[in-house]
A and B are shown apart, each in its own frame.
Chain A
Amino acid sequence: MRWGLLALTLAFLAYPLILTNPFYQDAGALVLLAAISASAWNIVGGYAGQISVGHAMFYGAGAYLPLLLYQHWHLPPLLGVPLAIAVSLGLALVVGFPTFRLQGHYFSMATLAVAELIRIVVSNWELLGAAIGLQGPAVSPNWWDLTFRSAVPYYYIFLAVLALLLAVTWYMEQSRLGYCLRAIRAGERAAKSLGVPVRRYKLYALMLSAAFTSLAGSLYAFKTGFVDPDSGLGILVSVQMIIVAALGGTGTLVGPLLGAVILVPLQTATNTWFGGGGAGLTFIVYGGIIVLIARFEPGGLMELWHRLTAPRTRRSPAPRHAA
């Protein structure tokens, strides 16, 4: 296990040095970015079992605020990062506080409604670029603008953030919060009867998740130097986090990373093959994959792997939920 972790770390560190083609370096950065946002979603969607279908609101806050500071007031975009995290925490409270005393469905519906509300407002708000979007700085000599020509610096920044996020998640797994969140996911009423402060812990999970999702959005904005309502707040942003986490395995540490490593290269490849016309097709395929995962393998690839590799005596019957 320890050797596997070491090998994995080395592989990720060496990747852009071995594959020096800029196309592959860029794809590597995109994989890491998808892994960051899906891992962030996983904290509340996987560990706490509260399914957000509107995480684009946090991602969008993270992407918009740094570029807003730069475009209108020529402030360093980096200043926007803590600001965006603060806004995301506020949004998390607005959505989570009322819905976390109710059943799980209400939270999902509220995330969808608030994300769509924000998308409509931003699409019509001149200050935020309305439908056109915001631009970041051109490549500049100031390192704190975080604008680089090559994808390699972004790759290593993303890798560092992912490592931090996975370390935080790993620490959370071992902590009281992690155990309580899993208890909540397994049975909210049972957890409550054992004295778990259910609502407060769900809120903690959402806020932690929102902060990292916002950071992912900021990283995206630094890398592309541009954001518009579709790329920052569109439904595909939320869908991408869900599908990457669900494919790999929700509620597991490395599931989202696994999902990103499989899905993002596939997506890059289909976009290259089908050109711009592939966007609609991507949604159809994503929708189909999400339905199939929900129907046949809600635990994702991680659970499938554990079931296939478990010793025969301990192998539990396949979890068929059918009546």
Chain B
Amino acid sequence: MILLQVIVGGLLLGAVYALLSSGLTLIWGMMNFINFAHGEFVMIGMYVAFVIVVALGVGPSIFGLAAAIGLFILGVAIYFALIRAVMRGPILAQILSTFGLALLLRYTAFWIFSPNFVTLPQSSLTGTINLGGILLNVAQLVAGVVAAALTLALHLLLTRTAVGSQLLAVAADRQAAMLMGIRPDRMQALAWGLSAASAGIAGALMAISYPFSPAVGETFALTAFVVVTLGGFGSVPGALLAGLLVGLIQALSAYYFGPVYKDVIVYGLFVALLWLRPQGLLGTA
């Protein structure tokens, strides 16, 4: 029974990983660009939730929305201020720009909030429910379900709407998209906004039930790299599947080997994956 509970808990956290990774995979698939500061977007989402709860005492629906809007604006701003200029430059500039940004954001947060772990003050999502003998934390259940729903929504946005088609058109062929009257700049800015917003919501969702510090971003960035590589280049459904799998693997390795090694095993999995199947589980070629 404990094992079953570990599995369900892992899957619920995995859904949140799926949401934050789908933001990374969107940028990767569209612009062939890796955002090393993606984990810091998650961290900022957590602190947006923290500041709003402390200042206003509102519930998760409000601070979740605030994290989404705040991070969307941040993502668009970073695109125009930095990414647009470096994305056609040498790969050195591409990698260093977001790597430097990650340091800048992480240690600015260190400076403002101190390196200590914090938790959100009491939330409306407390208590546990008993689901056929499995005890589920309400906050984790809500986070997992909302994250899975938003990941699916992002997938539907990309595949079923006009805006999604325009985004994918720019991803497929920038020149051809321009000839069709799509402004690639706008679409790429939108992608950065969506990517950062999904990371921000994922951060706000995790902030409800987990303690966090300014340094958590690196772990989330690495977890997202594993998920995106496992799920395959630019694929949101792949990220969903891989996110659930990584959450499950983490929960099981924490259960069997101790919490210290849960990240070690996931990073080890990443290296093994690069050796064996770099195109991901669902990918081809």
Contacts and interface: CB of A to CB of B under 8 A. Distances in A.
A98 B225 contact: no
Contact of B104 (A45, A108, A110, A291): A291
A103 B278 CA distance: 11
A113 B271 contact: yes
Nearest to A99: B274
Contacts of A239: 103
Contact of B278 (A98, A114, A246, A284): A98
Interface in B55-106: 82, 84-97, 99-106
B222 A288 contact: no
A114 B264 CA distance: 9
Nearest to B83: A295
A284 B105 CA distance: 8
A97 B271 CA distance: 11
B111 A235 contact: no
Nearest to A320: B85
Nearest to A236: B103
Nearest to A297: B93
Interface stretch (A59-67, A117-125, A133-141, A144-152): A117-125
Given A116-B218, A295-B82, A284 B108 contact: yes
B271 A114 contact: yes
B23 to A, nearest CB: 16
Contact of B110 (A101, A280, A289, A298): A280
The interface size bin for chain B is: 35 or more
B255 interface: no
A242 interface: yes
B33 to A, nearest CB: 8
A56 B275 CA distance: 22
Interface residues of A, number: 48
B224 to A, nearest CB: 10
A281 B110 CA distance: 9
Contact of B270 (A105, A110, A121, A124): A110
Interface string B28-51: 000010101000000000000000
Contact of B100 (A105, A112, A288): A288
B97 A246 contact: no
A120 B275 CA distance: 22
Contact of A246 (B88, B96, B107): B96
Interface string A221-249: 00000000000000100010010001000
A287 interface: yes
B260 A120 contact: yes
A322 B101 CA distance: 18
A323 B270 contact: no
A113 B86 CA distance: 24
Contacts, number: 150
Nearest to B268: A117
A104 B28 CA distance: 13
B86 A108 contact: no
A49 interface: yes
Interface string B203-227: 0000000000000001001100110
A301 B102 CA distance: 23
A102 B260 contact: no
A192 to B, nearest CB: 16
B222 A49 contact: no
B100 A116 contact: no
Interface in B110-134: 110-111, 115
Nearest to B102: A287
Given A280-B110, A291-B100, A291-B101, A321 B93 contact: yes
B88 A281 contact: no
Given A110-B270, A114-B271, A287-B102, A323 B82 contact: no
A148 to B, nearest CB: 34
A47 to B, nearest CB: 11
Contacts of A113: 222, 225-226, 267, 270-271
A282 B101 CA distance: 14
Given A116-B267, A117-B267, A290 B260 contact: no
Contacts of A291: 82, 96-97, 100-101, 104
A28 to B, nearest CB: 27
A89 B100 CA distance: 27
A112 B263 CA distance: 13
Interface in A272-323: 280-281, 283-284, 286-291, 293-295, 298, 321-323
Contacts of B90: 49, 298
B185 interface: yes
Contacts of A246: 92, 96
Nearest to B278: A102
A15 interface: no
Contacts of A166: none
Contacts of B261: 120
A129 B277 CA distance: 35
Contacts of A290: 96-97, 99-100, 103
Contacts of B260: 120, 124
Interface of B: 32, 34, 36, 82, 84-97, 99-108, 110-111, 115, 185, 218, 221-222, 225-226, 229, 260-261, 263-264, 267-268, 270-271, 274-275, 278
13 contacts: A49-B91, A53-B36, A98-B278, A105-B95, A109-B229, A116-B263, A116-B267, A281-B111, A283-B103, A284-B103, A287-B103, A295-B82, A322-B84
